[in-house]
A and B are shown apart, each in its own frame.
Chain A
C-alpha cells in the first residue's frame, strides 16, 4: 500500500467511524493493520497473535492457506476482542473491500464492547497470550519440544471440558521457575474470592488424602490443582490452555449474533457512503457473497444472523409482511408502534447470545426463507449418506438451539478423584439421550489417564445401558457401573 492509498484509506476510516457513531454504535478505539495473506491466515488459525506453537495450528493454517490459494475461500479480516480493538485487513483487498471490512469490524467492535457475555473478558489477552507463548517456548527449550508437544496435545484434547460459567481474567505474568509451589489459581481476583477459596483453603498442603473435591466441570482447572504428580511446567501448561479456552467462550457463544450484527452494519454503513456506481456494484457483490447459504451441512452464521436481525428491525418498526400476523401467547395480534426497530436491535445486541437469540427470534417464515432443515447420517446401503429429516420450523429451531446448548459438547463433570479408593479418577457424563462417540472418547481418556497417571473412568450411557468407559493410558475397557 503506497502513501496515497494509505492516506485515502485513513480518510475513509474516518468517514466510516463518523457514520457508525451517527448510527449509535459504541466501540473501542481500533488499530487497523494491513497485512499479507499468510499473516491473516496465521492469525485466523492461531486465534490470537503470538500464541504458543502447536501442530494443530499449523494444520489449520495449511488448510486455510490452501483454500485461499485455490481461490476457494478468503478471509478478508481478522478482529480481536481487545481494548484498543485490533483488526487486520488483507493487503490484497481492493479499496472498496477495505471500506467494507472496516465497517464490518466496527460492528464487531461495538458488539465486543456492549454484549453482556463479553463483559468480563480480559481485554489485555493479546499481551497475556504473548507471555504464555514465551513461557511455553522456554519449556520447549529446557524440557524438549517433543515432551512439551505431547503434554500440550493432552491439554488441548481436554480443553473442551470447561465450565462455561468461568471467564479468563487478567493475572500478572507468572515466572515459570519461581513461586511457592502452590498451583496458580485463576479463581482469584474476584469479589467472590472467599467463596471460591473455601475448597482450596480446606485442603492442607501436602496432605496425602485431601478431601474429596466438589463435582466440577472445570477439568483443566481440576487437573492443574489436583493431579497428583505433575511438574510445575505441566500445571502451568494446563493453566495456560484453560485460560485461553475461557477467553474464547463469549465468541463461541455469540457467533451467529455477532456475525449477523457486523454484517448488518457493514451494509447499513456502506449504503450511506458516497460510493461510485462501480464501487456500489462491487459492494453488492461482496455483500451477497457473505450473505449466502453455506455448504449444505452447515449454516452460514453471517447469513442467518443478518437475516434474523433484519427481520427484527422490520417487525419492531411495525412493518407487516405477507406472513400470518404475529400473535402473543393469548392468541391476540401483536401491534407494535412504528420506529422501534433500532432500539430493539441494540437491546438484542446487548442482551442475547446465540441460544436465546434463535430461541426468541427464529420464526417459521425465517426458517422457510433461509431453507433450514435437519439432517442426520444414515449408513444403510454400504455408504454413509446425510439425509434431510425435517424442515418443520419448530423442529429445526429446537435442533439448532439444542446443538448450541453447551456449545454442542457433552456435559462432563469430575466426580471422584479417589474412585474405588485407588486414587483413580471418575468422570460422569450428563446423558441427555445422545450417546458419546466411544472411539473418540476413549482416545481422549487415554490422554487424561497419562496426565492423571492412573486409570480414569467415565460413567455414561450407551444405547440405553449405563456403562463406565475406562482407560489406563494404554488400553481401553468398559464395565457395568
Chain B
C-alpha cells in the first residue's frame, strides 16, 4: 500500500480559541478565592509576604467531581530512578488545611488547584467590596491627587491590558455583520484598556490604628491585631493613597509610634485604654481639624481594662467629631465561639446601642478577621458587606 501524506504550515497566529475558556476558568478561580477570603487572608505567610510575592492558594472545586475511589484506600504504582525500597517516602503534603474539616485528599496537583496570585492581586480581591465609610469631601488643601484610571479603550496595546470582554464583543459584532455569527476572534477585534491620569478632589482622611499591647494580649490576640491592621493598611494605601495613618500602642501609657514599632511585639503591664483615646484626641486637636479631615479611630483590645467608664466618655467625644469609631475585641474562644463581649466591649455596647458611627466587632478566630474588615469598611458600617457566594 502506498500511504501518502500532506503537509501544511498555515498561519495559526489568529487562532486563539482556548482563550475564552481560560478566561472563564480564571473567573471561577477568583470566585472560589473570594468565597474563601476569610480563611485566606489571615494566613501567616501572606501577611509576611513581600510586595510582588506570589502566594499559592489551594482552591477547591475547580475540577469536576467524579465517582471515584478514596485515595487513602488505594495502592498506586510509581516509578523511581532505581533502588527504591519499601518505606521510602516519595511525596509529602501538609495535612488538610485547618478548619476545612474532611477534605478529600491533598495529593499534589490532583485534588487541589493551586491558584497563583501576587499579594497585590489578592489585595484587589479583598478590597473589591471595602470602602471608607461616611467619607465626606473635606479638606482645604485641595491638592488634586493624581490617579491612573483604566477608562478608555484602544485598538493597540500590550497583551496584559487586553480587554477580553470588549474584544469578544467586537468579534461577535464583526462575525454577525459578515453573516456568520460566532466568537472567532481576528486581530482587528482586539481591544485594549488604556489609562488616563485623573485628578480627584482631595479628601483628607486620617485613620488611627490603636492597639492594646498590655500583658494580657497573648500571641493569638497580637496575631489577629496585626493581621487586621496589615490588610487595613494595604487597603488604605491602595485605595486612599492620600490617607494618613497614626499608629498608637497602649498599655497603661499610650505612645504614638512608627509603623515598624506598631507591628512589632507586644509589651507588658496593665491595661488602660482610655490613655489611647486621650492621646488620639490630643493629636486630632493639634493636627487634624475635624472640619477638614475625615477621621477614623480603631482600637483592638482583649477588653480587660482599667476604667471602662472613662473610655465610654472619651469615645463619646470622638463620635462627635469622627466619621466612624471602631472597636475590635479579640478573644481566643474557639470552643464556645462566644459572642459575649468582655467588660470594655459590654460597656460600649450598652452606651452606643443604635449609634451608627460606632462599630463593634468580636473576633474569636482567624476567620473572623475578614468579616471584621467588611464591617468596618463597608458603605454601611456594621452591616455585612455583600460577598459573592
Contact = CB atoms under 8 A, between A and B. Distances in A.
A30 B5 contact: yes
A410 B69 contact: yes
B93 A389 contact: no
Q: Which residue among A388, A438, A444 has the maximum number of chain B CB atoms within 10 Å of its CB? A: A388
Nearest to A138: B181
Interface string B1-43: 1011111111011011111111111101000000000000000
A199 interface: no
Interface in A364-387: 370-377, 379, 382-387
A102 B313 CA distance: 84
B338 to A, nearest CB: 28
Given A157-B66, A386-B91, A409-B68, A437 B5 contact: no
Contacts of A370: 79
B8 A379 contact: no
Given A29-B3, A29-B5, A31-B6, A373 B25 contact: no
B8 A435 contact: no
A387 B90 CA distance: 6
A304 B74 CA distance: 21
A297 B78 contact: yes
Interface string B155-166: 000000000000
Interface stretch (B101-109, B300-308, B363-371): B101-109
Given A59-B62, A157-B66, A399-B75, A293 B18 contact: no
B58 to A, nearest CB: 13
B225 to A, nearest CB: 28
Interface in A157-206: 157, 160-161
Interface residues of A, number: 95
A225 interface: no
A388 B69 contact: no
A436 B80 contact: no
A285 interface: no
Q: Which of B20, B66, B86, B103 has the most CB of A within 10 A?
A: B66
Interface of B, secondary structure class, is loop
Interface hub of B5, B12, B107 (most chain A Cβ within 10 A): B5
Interface residues of B, number: 70
A156 B72 CA distance: 25
A48 interface: no
B12 to A, nearest CB: 5
B354 interface: no
A384 B24 contact: no
B73 interface: yes
Given A58-B25, A61-B18, A444 B66 contact: yes
Contact of A384 (B68, B78, B92): B92
Interface stretch (A34-42, A73-81, A335-343, A348-356): A34-42
A82 interface: no
Interface string A200-240: 00000000000000000000000000000000000000000
Interface in A30-55: 30-36, 38-39, 41-42, 45-46, 53-55
Given A157-B65, A371-B84, A373-B78, A59 B113 contact: yes
Interface in B41-100: 62-96
A439 B5 contact: no
Contacts of A445: 67
A144 interface: no
B345 to A, nearest CB: 35
B182 interface: yes
A382 B94 CA distance: 8
Contacts of B107: 297, 377, 384, 386
Contacts of B10: 33, 35
A391 B80 CA distance: 11
Given A373-B80, A383-B92, A391 B3 contact: no
Interface string A55-78: 111110110000000000000000
Given A58-B21, A389-B86, A447 B65 contact: yes
A222 B44 CA distance: 50
Contacts of A437: 68-71, 104-105
Contact of B67 (A26, A156, A441): A441
A283 interface: no
Interface in A384-405: 384-391, 396, 399-400, 403
A359 interface: no
B21 A53 contact: yes
Contact of B25 (A13, A26, A59, A295): A59
A120 interface: no
Most buried by B among A42, A408, A435: A42
A28 interface: yes
Nearest to B182: A137
Contact of A297 (B3, B76, B82): B76
Nearest to A442: B65
A32 B93 contact: no
A443 B104 CA distance: 11
A121 interface: no
Contacts of A333: none
A235 B67 CA distance: 21
Q: Top 9 A-B pairs ranked by shortest CB distance?
A: A58-B21, A443-B65, A386-B91, A58-B22, A439-B104, A296-B90, A437-B70, A58-B25, A42-B18
6 contacts: A33-B7, A137-B183, A293-B79, A373-B78, A383-B92, A386-B92
Given A31-B8, A386-B107, 14 more contacts: A10-B7, A33-B10, A53-B21, A373-B78, A376-B72, A379-B95, A385-B91, A389-B86, A391-B86, A429-B67, A434-B70, A436-B69, A441-B65, A441-B68
Interface of A: 1, 6, 9-10, 13-14, 17, 21, 26-36, 38-39, 41-42, 45-46, 53-59, 61-62, 84, 91, 137, 141, 149, 153, 156-157, 160-161, 293-300, 303-304, 370-377, 379, 382-391, 396, 399-400, 403, 408-410, 412, 429, 434-441, 443-445, 447, 458
